[in-house]
Chains A and B, each alone.
Chain A
Amino acid sequence: MITASLLVDQFWTFTITGLAQGAIYALVALGYTLVYGVLRLINFAHSEVFMVGTFGALFATRWMGVELGDPTDHGALAVIGFLVVCGLVAMAFSGGTAVALELIAYRPLRRRGAPRLAFLISAIGASFALFEAMAVWQGRNPIPFPRLFEPKELFRFFDASVTQRQVIVVVFAVLMMVALQLFVSKSRLGRGIRATAQDSETARMLGVNTDNTILVTFLLGGIMAGGAALLFLIKDEQTRFNIGFLLGIKAFTAAVLGGIGNLRGALIGGLALGLVENYGAAIFGTQWKDVVAFVVLVVVLMFRPTGLLGEQLGRSRA
C-alpha cells in the first residue's frame, strides 16, 4: 500500500525521528570516513566497533548496579552521572576495539604491502571473530538496556512531539562532531591526520609519524562509534551480538552518500539517510525502508559520483 497521506499528516514526527536516527548514522559514518580518508580503506569491521561499544555501556550499567525497570527513583544528577560513565566506558570499549583492529588486522598487512582486497578480507574475518566472540560470551538473544530516564515530551514542534531523548541524541551527536571537526582542523595530531590523508609519503618525509597518526585516526573513529553506541541504547533500549551489522551498512551508506573521506559529508549523509528512510517508511511501509535508502543512494551516486559533498578529508584546508 503506497500512500502519502501518512507522511503529510505526520510530516514533522517523521522528520524528528529521522533526524535522531540520522544523527546516530552520522556518528558511526565518521569512523568509516576518517579511516577511509587516511588509508583509502573501507574498515568493514567498524560495525563491530560500534557493537562492542553498546556492550561496554551495558556492562557499565551492570557495574553501577542500575536495575532494569522503573527509572523514577534516580535523581537528575544520578542520571547524568550514569550517562557520562556509560558513554565513557562505551567510548573506551569502542576505541580500544578500533585500535586493536588496526594493530592486529591491518598494520601487519600494510607492512607486507598487501593488495587492497586483502585488507577487506582481513576486516571481514575480524568482524566475524568479534561478533561471534560476543555471541559466545553474551549469548545470541537481544539483551535489554536499562531505561535511565522516562521519555517525556520536552516541547512541540509544529504538530510533532519532541521528547528529551531525541533532543539528547541529536545535541550530543552534533557536539561530538563539532569536537571532532575542531580536533582535526586545529590540533597538531589533526594536522598530521590531514597531512597523511593528503599524501602519506610526503607527510612521512616531513616528519609525521604516520603509523601513530593512523592509530589516532582509528581511535577517533572508535570514540565516535562509542558515543553512537550510547545514543543508540538510549533510543532503542537493547543490544545484541549482531546489532552492528545493519547499522554498519547504513552508516557506511551514509558516509558514501555524503562523500566518503569528508567529515561534514558524514553529517549530511547521516541526517539525509535518516530522513529519507523515515519518509520512505511512511510512504511505502516500514518493510521497504532499507530498499528506499539504497535506491536513493544509487540515484545520488548516478548524479554525484563521489557523494553529496565529494571526497575531501585531505584537501580540507585548515
Chain B
Amino acid sequence: MSGVRGAFGGLRQADDARIRGLASVGVRWRALPRPARIAICVAAVAALYLLPLWGSPPLINTPGTDFVDVLATRIAIFVLAAIGLNVVVGQAGLLDLGFVAFYAIGAYTVAVLSAEHGSVPFALAVPVAIAVAMSAGILLGTPTLRLRGDYLAIVTLGFGEIIRIVAVNTDWLGGPRGISNIPKPPNVGPLEFKLLDAKPYYWLALTAIIVVVVFVRRLERSRVGRAWTAIREDEDAAELMGVPTFKFKLWAFAIGAGVGALSGSLYAGRVGFINPGNFPFTLSVLFLAAVVLGGAGNLAGVILGGVVIAYLPERFRGFEDKRFLVFGIALVVMMIFRPQGLIPNRRVAAEMHHAEDNLELANVPGGDLHEPVEGSDDRHDRG
C-alpha cells in the first residue's frame, strides 16, 4: 500500500500548490480597487451576452449539437438550478437529494396554468410557479427539517420521487404523456421567442441568472446568510447563540425551491413540452454534482460547476453511447483531484488544508457535510 500512499502524497503536494495559486488569484482580485472590479464584472457580463453571436466558438463548441441551444436549454438552466440548490446545500448545509421536485413544480405550474388548464401568459405564470414551489418547500420542510444530515437527504429524495410519480399517475397533470403547447415567453421589443432561434432564450435565462446572483449575493452577506453559515458550521452552537435555526433552514429551503422553480419554468418555456420523464432522480443528482463539483458555498464555483456538468455530456457526444460512462469517470477523477470543488469556498478550503496537515491521524469521515474528514467524536451524540 505504501506505493499508493506515496503516489497520492505527491498528488497532494501538487494540489497544495494549486490551491495556493488559486487562493492568490482570489487575494489579488480582492485587492483590486472597486472600480476595476466593477469594470471587469461588466466586461465579463457583456462577453456572456455576446457569446451566442459568435455562433460556434472554437474549443468550447459542442460537436453534433447547436452550441447556442446547449447554452440556452442546458447550461443556463443548470446554472440557475445549481445556484438555487447551493442556497440549500452550500450555504445552509442541508443535503437535498430531491431538488428536481422544485424544478418540476416550477415547470408543471407554468404548464398547467398556461397550457393544460388555462391561458395565463408566461410572464405571469412564472411568479406563480415560484410562489407555489416556495410553498411546497415550506410544506416539505416543516415536518422534515428537524431531521439531520443523511436522514434529511433520504426524505428529500423520497419527495423528489413522489412528485414524479404523482405527475405520472395524475390525469389532471397530463399523466405519462405530459403537457404540450406551453406558450413561449412574451416578445420584448425586437426579441422574438421562436422555436428555432435559441439566442433570446439564452439572454432571458442569463438575465434571470444575473438577477438571482445579485439577490443571493445580498442574502449571503445579510443576517440571513450569516445565520446559514452558522447553521452549516455547527447547528447546535448556532442554536445556543440564539440563531432561530429552524426558521432559517426553512427560509433556505423556500428560497432554494423558488430559484429551482424559476429554472424549471424557463425550461418549460424553452422546450414547450414536458412530461414526467424530464424530471428523473438523476437530475437531482446532477444538480448536486454541479454544486459540489464547483465548490459548495461559493457562488462563482457553483456557476462553474453548473456549466461543467451541463456542458461535459454534450462535449462528449463524440463518444456516442459511451458519453455518460466517460462523464462518470470524469466526475470521480475530478473529485479525487479537487475534492474541495473547482473554486472552493474559502472557509472549506482553509479547513481542508488544516485537515491535510493532520492526515495521518485522521482519515475517516464524520460530522457535518462540509467538514473535512477528521476523527469523528461528535458522531454518537446524535442518536
Contact = CB atoms under 8 A, between A and B. Distances in A.
A245 B157 CA distance: 13
A108 B372 contact: no
Nearest to A111: B8
A133 interface: yes
B328 A291 contact: no
B363 A124 contact: no
B355 A129 contact: no
Q: How large is the interface on A (under 10, 10 to 19, 20 to 34, 35 or more residues)?
A: 35 or more
Contacts of A75: none
Residue of B159, B363, B364 with highest tally of chain A CB at under 10 A = B364
A297 B325 contact: no
B166 A291 contact: yes
Contacts of A112: 8, 11-12, 15, 336, 339, 352, 356, 359
B380 A314 contact: yes
Given A126-B328, A295-B162, A306 B151 contact: yes
Nearest to A139: B321
A109 B335 contact: yes
Contacts of B339: 109, 112-115, 118
Interface stretch (A85-93, A252-260, A275-283): A252-260
Interface string A279-318: 0000000011011011101100110011000111011000
A302 B144 CA distance: 7
B49 interface: no
A113 B352 contact: yes
Contact of A114 (B285, B335, B377): B335
Contacts of A74: none
A168 interface: no
A199 interface: yes
A38 B370 CA distance: 19
B365 A41 contact: yes
Residue of B158, B367, B380 with highest tally of chain A CB at under 10 A = B158
B33 interface: no
B120 to A, nearest CB: 29
Contacts of B289: 121, 124-125
B329 A117 contact: no
B116 interface: no
Contacts of A204: 361
A214 B363 CA distance: 11
A287 B169 CA distance: 7
A298 B321 CA distance: 38
A132 interface: yes
Interface in A182-229: 196, 198-201, 204, 210-211, 214
B350 to A, nearest CB: 12
B150 A117 contact: no
Interface of B: 1, 5, 8, 11-12, 15, 89, 95, 143-144, 146-148, 150-151, 153-155, 157-159, 161-162, 165-166, 168-169, 281, 285, 288-289, 292-293, 296, 321-322, 324-325, 327-332, 334-336, 339-341, 348, 352, 355-356, 358-359, 361-377, 379-380, 382-383
11 contacts: A36-B150, A42-B150, A105-B335, A113-B339, A114-B340, A122-B336, A125-B332, A125-B334, A287-B165, A287-B168, A298-B143
Given A113-B363, A122-B336, A301-B147, 17 more contacts: A40-B365, A111-B363, A112-B336, A113-B373, A117-B292, A119-B365, A122-B332, A125-B327, A125-B329, A126-B331, A201-B362, A214-B364, A249-B281, A290-B161, A291-B166, A297-B158, A302-B144
Interface of A: 36, 38-42, 104-105, 108-122, 124-130, 132-133, 135-136, 196, 198-201, 204, 210-211, 214, 245, 249, 252-253, 256, 260, 287-288, 290-291, 293-295, 297-298, 301-302, 305-306, 310-312, 314-315
Q: What 6 pairs between A and B have smallest CB-CB spacing? A: A125-B331, A128-B328, A114-B339, A129-B328, A294-B158, A201-B375
